[in-house]
Structure 1
């Protein structure tokens, strides 16, 4: 075995298998929720390989420079920097999205919002929707990628988020199907002259009550953008605004679909009733949590 296959002069051979085992144990001791998965994702990222490669080449020794770089990643993850920010990407709806600290990391539960919109939007004729608070662009890009008849507006108040979403649209070759608008909530849509009514508005707004921010995991609380997590109040301010202002932008049989936080469904339904929305649907995620509310303009 050549010397450059050993780590930093200690004489020990570190294979893919041994470094994964060591990292899993280290992450567990640091309170990381998914120690094995995180170790595999970081090592496969460093090596530029798929995760299956780690199992097929379990006994392959790592070079000294690889170990040094990997342990730097491990150190950062132990400090609770999210894996997605370390690798610069996160999978959503089976597609890779680039992420950075200006946007939220896309989460599996948000896929329910995309799926419910897909099921309810027209399937044949061209339809236009708006994604409010687009962040990385995961929702809007997924919709136009999965349904060829859709075109969308992606709105965010953050210029950095718009830049990230535009980059992802380019990588996934849908930049011609989405118009990106910077501004506050629905105002950029109102500023478009002769804009046709929307078939749907979708949103994953900041819904965490300010009082709950300290209870979040360190990865979220310390590193993800706070203004994309909370409204600085009770977590319902963006629903109040969306439910008051959205109907005028929708076609007669259009709908507004929003992700909601735990135990917020009743409050959002109350706001909907106050604003005379029609039919209301509440969808649960795989954990049985009420996760998406769909509000129809008509009964």
Structure 2
């Protein structure tokens, strides 16, 4: 397939990218492509497809070209204002559902929700849970709200604000959560990967956080205990090479029963702790 070869220098998955872009150009799914593989494209369809291929060849993420990304089997809208949901973030959903499998009356806070991926996945699995999702980007919250509406998920309250700022007024003093989850920025500011691949097109504020990448994580860990019930859980995604630092941050912030989890590639990916 010529389109696959065209994307080989840009993409780690050129065939998949080409198929997704062709399906999007035709307003079909990939199953349709397989079923009707011998169908010839019209001239307008070819031009439409070639425009998308050119954008991808220049490095633009497939999710930005199609305007969507699948996460936890949910089709989510994304934009240049949101981080593109990654498969490894699904581990947060798995661990929360495992540890709270029998719980029905749970209050969850998703910090820095972006497209709403974590909050929406939990809401789809636990419609009885009360979920709050915050983000400092009004544009990102608009996307998250739109995703919730399209998925008919009504148990999420979206709030504009940076980390815990929305809960620092007197009326929020009694609002405590059973779970606080976050996929915060954790890449060092000067990391060369920030100028490579898909991340070049994503919001820097959702990616980088200080010299060692841990500024936001430190802030979240230090402040979260004031917003967690006794015995409640804080769970955070982080870089594969930050396991030791995360354990120390959680320990020095006073959390107990600290647990760390690896993703499907066996890389350290999550750290959780219990608030006393």
Q: TM-score, normalised by structure 1?
A: 0.89
1:291 lines up with 2:257 in the alignment: no
Check the 8 A contact 1:93/1:142 in 2, yes or no: yes
1:97 pairs, out of 76, 95, 115, with 76
Q: CA deviation at 1:253?
A: 1.2
2:159 pairs, out of 173, 181, 191, with 181
Q: 1:142 to 1:260 in 2, by over 3 A?
A: same
Corresponding residue for residue 7 of structure 1: none
Q: CA deviation at 1:213?
A: 4.0
Check the 8 A contact 1:153/1:181 in 2, yes or no: yes
2:225 pairs, out of 247, 251, 271, with 247
SS in 2 for 1:211: coil
SS in 1 for 2:163: coil
**2: CA distance, partners of 1:131 / 1:51:** 32
Q: CA deviation at 1:261?
A: 0.4
**2: CA distance, partners of 1:23 / 1:155:** 40
Corresponding residue for residue 5 of structure 2: 25
Corresponding residue for residue 254 of structure 2: 276
| Unaligned segments of structure 1, at least 5 residues | 1-20
Q: CA deviation at 1:216?
A: 5.4
**2: CA distance, partners of 1:63 / 1:105:** 32
Q: 1:31 to 1:88 in 2, by over 3 A?
A: closer
Q: How many residues align?
A: 275
| Unaligned segments of structure 2, at least 5 residues | none
SS in 1 for 2:172: coil
Check the 8 A contact 1:121/1:199 in 2, yes or no: no
Q: What is the aligned-residue RMSD (CA, Å)?
A: 1.4
Check the 8 A contact 2:221/2:250 in 1, yes or no: yes
Check the 8 A contact 1:85/1:100 in 2, yes or no: yes
1:63 lines up with 2:49 in the alignment: no
1:1-299 paired onto structure 2 within 5 Å? 21-28=1-8, 30-121=9-100, 123-174=102-153, 176-191=154-169, 192-193=171-172, 195-214=174-193, 217-220=196-199, 222-298=200-276
**1: CA distance, partners of 2:14 / 2:197:** 15
**2: CA distance, partners of 1:216 / 1:92:** 25
**2: CA distance, partners of 1:31 / 1:166:** 32
Q: CA deviation at 1:193?
A: 3.2
Check the 8 A contact 1:103/1:136 in 2, yes or no: yes
Check the 8 A contact 1:141/1:169 in 2, yes or no: yes
Q: CA deviation at 1:195?
A: 4.0
**2: CA distance, partners of 1:72 / 1:63:** 14
**1: CA distance, partners of 2:174 / 2:53:** 49
